[in-house]
Structure 1
Amino acid sequence: MVKFPQILCIGSVLWDVIGRSASHMRQGSDVPGHITRLPGGVAANIAMTFARFGMTPSLLSAVGRDPEGDELAAACETLGCNTAYLYRSEDLPTDRYMAVEGANGLIAAIADAHSLERAGARILQPLRDGTLGSAEAPFTGIVALDGNLTEFLLDEVSRDPALAKADLRIAPASPGKAERLMPFLRTSRGTLYVNLEEAGLLCQTRFTSAPEAAARLVERGAARAVVTNGGDAACDATPDGLIAERPPEVLVTRVTGAGDTFMAAHIVAEMHDTTRDEALTLALTAAAQYVSGDIPS
């Protein structure tokens, strides 16, 4: 009998290179600020938030066998994440993400996550060969999954017998990849964590509020949809109804990673048997603390 980890985080694990300035910025701005390089990627950000809550998440991703990859794996371990199941590629470089943030929010970002996409199903091997699970003995814990995987692989995951008993929690990596989550609408699997723009892309329309968006996602097949909308009300919807709540008002000092923090905090809250209302409150509070800088990166 396989002894399963409690939490798996599947998706991008890479270096985040973030330039931040206290100035308002526009195209062509050249301003003073600070540049940091930290372990990042949606899966890693979620995993590190789990670790801050005392969990020991395991990462499933692709990381190169280059110096950057060795350093990244070591940094993730130091931050409380289990990297034993990473696919370490000999010929694919370690992925990177670069963003510029100003006082007026995210200005621009580029995700160089091609290695994860090229690795494909190889990152899921531990879930299929009996190491963490198999079709005969499915993984039964929580799986936090991000949309940096290809739509073909996400479709496989939505129907994979090795994950048939898993508690799937799914987020797009960015609005540009939101439509990759369509398989989970078709199969009515898992909980979708999206922002208002991403919900609109999945539903091929525009929404003015999170409750409207979450309700439409459920109508289109989502088993559950949790939709955020910046400083406006967020919503948690299922076929049995919806709840909505506004986040605390804070001074925003950063935005990259806020959605990942919200998602992880929401999952941890539910692991402690909170009500849906309580879980939404705790997640919004954690995300507000993060964007204000009260929670370290």
Structure 2
Amino acid sequence: MSQDSTILCIGAVLWDIIGRSPNHMERGADVPGRITRLPGGVAMNIAMTLAGFGMKPVLLTAVGRDPEGNELISACADLGMECSHVYRSEDLPTDRYMAVEGANGLIAAIADAHSLEAAGAKILRPLTEGPLGTPGQPFEGRVALDGNLTLHLLEEIASSPAFAHADLRVAPASPGKALRLRPFLRHPGALLYVNLEEAGLLCATDFPDAESAALGLLAKGARRALVTDGGKSACDATQDGPITLTPPKVMVTRVTGAGDTFMAAHIVAEAEGAGREDALQRALNAAARYVSGQNPL
């Protein structure tokens, strides 16, 4: 199965519970603001933006059969995602993510993706047992993969014939899970999307900027690396050389999901035939619109 607009989104699909305040916040702050609940998770955020751009995201994840899970699946379907291949567990609850953001950015976050981790390789059955792929006919299209899976499962994916012919786009989910991406540093079909901190963790080095970090990942064996650094530069590095651009200056009103929006917009741009520089610029523009509170589309 490989269609131009189809992309598999593998990883966390859960409920985001986000508290936002317009005030500067420090540890222990107690301030007024707004609390929202909406579908989230790295794979979900990527899929949502992809769907908005007209692509057909297919979710491979774990969602409980509890009321929260039923509501989440319904919301995903309404947003244009294919949910028929989602692993629905009878005994695992639907995962959640909680974050607090202030005027000075993300204050703290907790990702409760234990059900996704417990489900393990069960979420990949449609790729190994059909209908999306089989050992004799592996999936050959685009895959967006996030690092919320366990290290063991990510290691399996990195060496699995089921992903040998895929256009594999990989994100770590958070700096705390960046080291889980090490198996993909030498994967011939992988493009790593990381921020400056995550690149430093993968290379065990402190980098001064996105370009040096992207080149550092290539030195570690990566085929291609795309490194962002917030409102500073972003770099797409391959053996043909680095391309470095600076994002538009905007007023930041939200940060959770910005990296996922960037990754999705970049995938869409390349799916539409954009060159490396154009794709990077389009992704930076989409992420800037997102963090400023606008529609990234």
Tell whether the structures are fold-level matches, with TM greater than 0.5: yes
Q: Hey, what does 2:135 align to over in structure 1?
A: 135
CA contact (8 A) 1:192 1:225 kept: yes
CA contact (8 A) 1:158 1:189 kept: no
CA distance in 2, matches of 1:85, 1:173: 22
CA contact (8 A) 2:289 2:296 kept: no
CA distance in 2, matches of 1:111, 1:3: 32
Q: Hey, what does 1:53 align to over in structure 2?
A: 53
Residues 75-90 of structure 1: pairs in structure 2 closer than 5 A = 75-90=75-90
1:231 aligns with 2:257: no
Aligned length: 296
Could you tell me which amino acid in structure 1 is paired with residue 193 of structure 2? Answer: Y
CA distance in 1, matches of 2:26, 2:80: 37
CA distance in 1, matches of 2:187, 2:49: 28
Residues 124-273 of structure 1: pairs in structure 2 closer than 5 A = 124-273=124-273
Shift of 1:189: 3.8
CA contact (8 A) 1:61 1:87 kept: yes
Q: Hey, what does 1:23 align to over in structure 2?
A: 23
CA distance in 2, matches of 1:160, 1:126: 14
Aligned residue for 1:22, secondary structure, equals coil
1:113 aligns with 2:133: no
Q: State the Cα deviation string for residues 157-215 of structure 1 (Å, max 9, x = none).
A: 11111111110000001000000000001434400000000000000111110000000
Q: Hey, what does 1:10 align to over in structure 2?
A: 10
CA distance in 2, matches of 1:132, 1:246: 38
CA contact (8 A) 2:10 2:143 kept: yes
CA distance in 1, matches of 2:106, 2:206: 21
Q: Hey, what does 1:98 align to over in structure 2?
A: 98
Aligned residue for 2:274, secondary structure, equals coil
Aligned residue for 1:232, secondary structure, equals coil
Unaligned runs of 5+ in 2: none
CA contact (8 A) 1:100 1:108 kept: yes
CA contact (8 A) 2:42 2:146 kept: yes
CA contact (8 A) 2:2 2:140 kept: no
CA distance in 1, matches of 2:80, 2:34: 26
After superposing on structure 2, the runs of 4+ consecutive aligned residues of structure 1 that deviate more than 4 Å are 2-5
CA contact (8 A) 1:16 1:98 kept: yes
CA distance in 1, matches of 2:133, 2:228: 32
Shift of 1:120: 0.3
1:33 aligns with 2:33: yes
Q: 1:189 to 1:152 in 2, by over 3 A?
A: farther
TM-score normalized by the length of structure 1: 0.98
CA distance in 1, matches of 2:277, 2:174: 26
Could you tell me which amino acid in structure 2 is paired with residue 43 of structure 1? Answer: A
Shift of 1:296: 7.1
Share of identical aligned residues, percent? 68
Q: 1:290 to 1:99 in 2, by over 3 A?
A: same
Aligned residue for 1:250, secondary structure, equals coil
Shift of 1:72: 0.4
CA distance in 2, matches of 1:114, 1:205: 30
CA contact (8 A) 2:213 2:227 kept: yes
The root-mean-square deviation of aligned C-alpha atoms, in Å, is 1.2
Q: Hey, what does 1:278 align to over in structure 2?
A: 278
Q: State the Cα deviation string for residues 44-77 of structure 1 (Å, max 9, x = none).
A: 0000000110112010000000000000000011
CA contact (8 A) 1:10 1:146 kept: yes
Shift of 1:225: 0.2
TM-score normalized by the length of structure 2: 0.98
Q: State the Cα deviation string for residues 12-45 of structure 1 (Å, max 9, x = none).
A: 0000000000000001111110000000000000
CA contact (8 A) 2:165 2:189 kept: no
CA contact (8 A) 1:189 1:222 kept: no
CA contact (8 A) 1:134 1:161 kept: no
Unaligned runs of 5+ in 1: none
Shift of 1:80: 1.0
CA distance in 2, matches of 1:22, 1:188: 44
